[in-house]
Amino acid sequence: MKNKEPLILAVVVFFSLATYYLVEPYAHHILHKDVESKGFVYDGSDDILEVENIISGLQKTKLEKELEYKDASADEKQKLKTAIITSENDIAIQKVRLEKKQTFFSDVARIAKIKGDAVTGEAIFATCSGCHNDAGIVMGTIPPSLDNAGVYYTKNYLIGIIKDPVMISNVDHKFSVENEHPMASVKYMVSSDEDIANVVAYMQKIAISPEKVTPKMAYENTCGRCHSVVYEKWTQLGTTEKFKHKKDTLAAEIKVLEYEDSLKVYMGKLPPDLSMYIRSRGEHFISTFIENPQSQLEGTSMPRVGVTADTADKVVEYLKNAGDTKRHEREEIGRNVMIYIVIFALFAFLWKREIWKDLH
Amino acid sequence: MAKFTKATSIKDWINQRLAIEKVEKVMGSEYWIPKNINFLWAMGMVLVITFVLLLVSGIFLLMYYQPNIDTAFYSVNYTIMRDVDFGWLWRHIHGVAASVVFLIIYIHMFTGIYYGSYKKGREMIWLSGMLLLVAFSAEAFSGYILPWGQMSYWAGMVITNLFSGGSLHADGLVEWIRGDYVPAQAFLSRFFMLHVLLIPLAILGLIGLHFAALRIPHVNNQDGEEIDFDAESKKYLDGDKKGSKVIRFANDFMSKDMMVAGIYLVFFFYLVFYNYGFAMDPVNFDPADGLKTPAHIYPEWYFLWSYEILRPFSIDIGLIAFAFAQGIFLGLPFLDRSPNAIAANRRGPAFMIWFWLMLTNMIVLTAMGKLPPEDPYSTIGYWAAILFIVQWLALPIITSYEKKV
Ligand code: HEM
């Protein structure tokens, strides 16, 4: 009798893998947008493309409405006309936005070419210290310390945030003249290309070198003012302290709650605690999300934070420490268990062969 | 009263009281198994092993899990995953085993269907097996609620909503099941009880019944041959091991069970350490939030095929189709009118096509069940669901034309 087991095994494996492929990689590909990193350069190509897409979408709906208009009843004509006018207005608004973005990013590119002078920059930096001074004054969020801004953020981003914070952070849809970004006034105080280049040069000079940046520093300085990480005892105001008296513990908690209230007002919602986000979103999502939050959560109020690729890696590392703490142990134990089980399987195979010798 | 003599050894002492030698014969060395079976017949043992893995890892998790809506998520994701030594390992074993057990159950089921092992005295094996599938489904669903993540909450919401019966609007029943208007503390507490006590008890009982049902008809074999177990076992005991058509369960078939289990465990632990994502949905690592509906709500993969039979229809028809899909496998031994209890490839083309189509179609349903309800997926799902129902309605007809081989 022919041994059919290899064929049966092949059939079982084939159907199992087909099911796996369909419910895992394939379904994920359909359910989630595939976003690739652009290399953390912040040259505006993403931002401009986004607006261009909005415009072409609007133009398409307008065209459809116009076609409908031709053979619509008088009643409908009135309605369609208003709809067409609305989309024309929207298109006009988006075109202005597009132009602003194009100008903005070409300005940034121009300034980036200037070799800044750190010594002159130091004097201008005093403007920044008016707000960025560790005094803990809440302006929506508390302005973060800029001591090492030169290493956390890219040059383009630092130029951009002085030039116009809402543009470089890609949150211009959230702010307006009536509702200004808390740092919006800076562009009038530090406005010439040279001044901007000089401050940026200064910040890059005073910053520590990239190797000295730990995952914890990277996270706390670039995300920590908005996102708590309870599993690492991090609140938006700093690491939770232990107090002797319950009164002090409660007072500290109330301070955090009050700060969270102001965050809610500023951002429209409380930024989530990121303790388990490495498991719920995964490395790839988080890394591409911080590069441009709009790419995967259209209309979100989370600003782009403009970190370098290296800082982004460290932020991800920090989130792994919080939500996938035992990954090194898992690898080590995994290897040992695999070795053990393979040996077990080998002995089981030998035992079977021994016993079945007499049966065939 | 039985006669007891002075024991000659510890074994003898125990044997006089517990008849372990007799038990060993009945359960092992003289429990006769056909020789002509392949590794698919080891799947039952693989299921036993997986169940033991679930039980043991579950007991460890139970030492730290807290069934409270405020602390459940934390107790799982912080205490067990970070604080407790090897907590993460038990959790990954438990999660992966809960998923893989269904893969093996489906393989085991389709093996039974392919070889016609649900007929000619094997009906009780099949029925008890189906009850095990129901019990495992309930166990998996109740377990999924416990971490109190987003999918726990929303899957709990969606599945319990099914009990309102569509236009029947039996909202009272839904509230009764939940113990509240929405999934909340009462819901978590009772699903905790079900998951760690009542359903495991039922499963243990059903495994006992399943095994008992196997004793009289014995397991089937690759050719569906009816074996005279008395004659063949006598041949074996008389020394003609090669000529006999039967082998001992222990150690003959058990050694093969262990070999298959060894290969299976290599695969299993590979998943536990290197590819566990499929078994632990990322969305469930967000804490439950009744105000924030996830973008996509879908059940775990093993429920997807029946979910997809529910989804493409209007709510009332969908529920009827769903109930049909849940129950119809139980009827298999009675819907198959064929006089044969042999492998599908020897039963003629009709059943052969029926079998492979059913298997493929259930995989299609599974895939569509996860994808968003939009074209083309919903259209494919719709026709696959219709095909599923039609196939079952056609089964008695096509099998009654089958000739005895
Ligand atoms: C976790 C649950 C289950 C366990 C532990 C289990 C265990 C076993 C064992 C040990 C055997 C004998 C060896 C073998 O043929 O594989 C067996 C046979 C069988 N089981 Fe299950 N089983 C389970 C679930 C099911 C389910 C869901 C079905 C399908 C309805 C099923 C249907 C059968 C059938 C038809 C046989 C007889 C096979 C034959 O005679 O060739 N079992 N089961």
Query: Do B273 and A348 count as a contact with CB atoms less than 8 A apart?
Result: no
Query: What's chain B's average pLDDT?
Result: 94
Q: Which atom of ligand 1 is nearest to the CA of B112?
A: 35
| Residue A358 CA to ligand 1 centre (angstroms) | 27
Query: Do A19 and B258 count as a contact with CB atoms less than 8 A apart?
Result: no
Is A43 in the same domain as A59? yes
Chain A hits for B222, CB-CB cut-off 8 Å, are: 4
What is the sign, positive or negative, of the torsion defined by CA atoms of A51, A57, A63, A69? negative
Model pLDDT, residue B403: 87
Is A10 in the same domain as A56? no
Q: Which of residues 186-245 of A touch B (CB under 8 A)?
A: 231
Please give the average per-residue pLDDT across A22-29, as a whole number: 94
Q: Evaluate the omega torsion of the peptide bond into residue B376 and state whether it is cis, within 30 degrees of 0.
A: yes
Angle between the B123-145 and B185-193 helix axes, to the nearest 10 degrees? Answer: 140
Task: Give domain status of residue A195, yes or no.
Answer: yes
Confidence of residue A11 (pLDDT cuts 50, 70, 90): very high
Q: Evaluate the omega torsion of the peptide bond into residue A170 and state whether it is cis, within 30 degrees of 0.
A: no
Backbone angles phi, psi at A200, to 5 degrees: -65, -40
The number of domains in chain A is 3
pLDDT exceeds 90 at position A25: yes
Query: Do A280 and B283 count as a contact with CB atoms less than 8 A apart?
Result: yes
Distance CA A5, CA A11 (A): 10
Query: Do A30 and B372 count as a contact with CB atoms less than 8 A apart?
Result: yes
Rounded to a whole number, what is the distance in Å from the CA of A154 to chain B's nearest CA? 31
Q: What is the DSSP string of A8-27?
A: HHHHHHHHHHHHHHIIIIIH
Model pLDDT, residue A115: 92
Parts of chain B with a pLDDT under 50: none
Backbone angles phi, psi at B184, to 5 degrees: -150, -155
Model pLDDT, residue B38: 94
Distance CA A345, CA A340 (A): 9
pLDDT digits (tens, 9 = 90+) for B19-73: 999 999 999 999 999 999 999 999 999 999 999 999 999 999 999 999 999 999 9
Is A161 in the same domain as A86? no
Distance CA A173, CA A186 (A): 19
pLDDT exceeds 60 at position A1: no
Which of B27, B41, B47, B209 most suits a substitution to test ligand 1, by most atoms within 8 Å of the C-beta?
B47
Model pLDDT, residue A70: 82
Distance CA B66, CA B61 (A): 10
Which of B210, B229, B329 most suits a substitution to test ligand 1, by most atoms within 8 Å of the C-beta?
B210
**Is residue B366 within 8 angstroms of chain A, CB to CB?**
yes
Is A26 in the same domain as A76? no
pLDDT exceeds 70 at position A35: yes
Chain B hits for A300, CB-CB cut-off 8 Å, are: none
pLDDT digits (tens, 9 = 90+) for A167-219: 999 998 888 878 889 998 999 999 899 999 999 999 999 999 999 999 999 99
Task: Give domain status of residue A143, yes or no.
Answer: yes
Is A53 in the same domain as A73? yes
Structure tokens at A187: 């562009």
Rounded to a whole number, what is the distance in Å from the CA of A329 to chain B's nearest CA? 9
CATH (residue range B21-292): 1.20.810.10
Strands B32-34 and A238-239 turn out to be: unpaired
Is A128 in the same domain as A193? yes
Chain A hits for B272, CB-CB cut-off 8 Å, are: 334, 337
Distance CA B158, CA B171 (A): 13
CB-count exposure of residue B238 (10 Å: 0-12, 13-18, 19+): exposed
Chain A hits for B285, CB-CB cut-off 8 Å, are: 276-277, 279-280, 323
Q: Report residue A199 CA to chain centroid gap.
A: 26
Most A CBs within 10 A among B90, B289, B370, B377, hence the mutation to make, goes to: B370
| Residue B44 CA to ligand 1 centre (angstroms) | 5
Asked if B392 and B328 count as a contact pair (C-beta separation under 8 A), the reply is yes
Chain A hits for B273, CB-CB cut-off 8 Å, are: 330-331, 333-334, 337-338
Task: Kindly report the pTM of this predicted structure.
Answer: 0.92
Structure tokens at A123: 């004097």
Model pLDDT, residue B56: 97
Model pLDDT, residue B17: 93
- Give every CB contact of residue B358 below 8 A, 6+ residues apart in sequence: B113, B388, B391
Give how far Cα A103 sits from Cα of A39, A43, A290, Å.
22, 12, 24
Task: Give domain status of residue A106, yes or no.
Answer: no
Residue of chain A minimizing CA distance to B286: A280
The share of chain A scoring above pLDDT 90, in percent, equals: 82
Task: Give domain status of residue A342, yes or no.
Answer: no
Asked if A158 and A200 count as a contact pair (C-beta separation under 8 A), the reply is yes
Task: Give domain status of residue A62, yes or no.
Answer: yes
**Is residue A341 within 8 angstroms of chain B, CB to CB?**
yes
**B309-B310-B311-B317 Cα dihedral, nearest 10 degrees:** 110
Rounded to a whole number, what is the distance in Å from the CA of B72 to chain A's nearest CA? 14
Structure tokens at B87: 């907590």
Chain B hits for A358, CB-CB cut-off 8 Å, are: 241-242
Q: Which of A23, A231, A276 is facing B304, going by the closest CB pair?
A: A23
pLDDT digits (tens, 9 = 90+) for A50-108: 999 999 999 999 998 888 888 888 888 888 888 889 999 999 999 999 999 999 999 99
Distance CA B162, CA B388 (A): 21
Task: Give domain status of residue A291, yes or no.
Answer: no
Query: Do A22 and B366 count as a contact with CB atoms less than 8 A apart?
Result: yes
Task: Give domain status of residue A321, yes or no.
Answer: no
Asked if B43 and B104 count as a contact pair (C-beta separation under 8 A), the reply is yes
Is A7 in the same domain as A40? no
Is A74 in the same domain as A141? no
pLDDT digits (tens, 9 = 90+) for A329-350: 999 999 999 999 999 999 999 9
Rounded to a whole number, what is the distance in Å from the CA of B132 to chain A's nearest CA? 21
Where do the H-state alpha helices sit in A227-326? Answer: 246-267, 277-280, 283-291, 309-323
Can you list the positions of beta strands (E) in B293-342?
none
Asked if A288 and A35 count as a contact pair (C-beta separation under 8 A), the reply is yes
Residue of chain A minimizing CA distance to B41: A5
Q: Which of residues 242-281 of B touch A (CB under 8 A)?
A: 242, 247, 251-252, 255-256, 258-259, 261-263, 265-266, 269-270, 272-274, 277-278, 280
Model pLDDT, residue B1: 65
Helices and strands (H and E) in chain B: how many: 17, 2
Is A13 in the same domain as A38? no
Distance CA B78, CA A347 (A): 39
Model pLDDT, residue B341: 87
CATH code 1.20.810.10 region(s) in chain B? 21-292
Q: Whose CA is nearest to atom 25 of ligand 1?
A: B129
Residue found under tokens 């959560």: A297
Model pLDDT, residue A27: 94
Query: Do A24 and B263 count as a contact with CB atoms less than 8 A apart?
Result: no
**Is residue B363 within 8 angstroms of chain A, CB to CB?**
yes
How many beta-carbon pairs under 8 angstroms link A with B?
135
The boundaries of the domain holding residue A184 are: 114-208
Is A12 in the same domain as A54? no
Residue B248 forms beta bridges with which residues?
Answer: B32
Confidence of residue A351 (pLDDT cuts 50, 70, 90): very high
Q: What is the ipTM of this complex?
A: 0.94
Most B CBs within 10 A among A326, A339, A357, hence the mutation to make, goes to: A326
Task: Give domain status of residue A38, yes or no.
Answer: yes
Q: Whose CA is nearest to atom 17 of ligand 1?
A: B44
Length of chain A: 360
pLDDT exceeds 60 at position A2: yes
- Give every CB contact of residue B333 below 8 A, 6+ residues apart in sequence: B118, B119, B122, B123, B126, B127
Length of chain B: 405
Q: Is B9 helix (H, G, I), strand (E, B) or coil?
A: coil
Model pLDDT, residue A77: 85
Is A190 in the same domain as A127? yes
Q: Which atom of ligand 1 is nearest to the CA of B104?
A: 1
The share of chain A scoring above pLDDT 70, in percent, equals: 99
Query: Do B259 and A351 count as a contact with CB atoms less than 8 A apart?
Result: yes
Model pLDDT, residue A65: 87
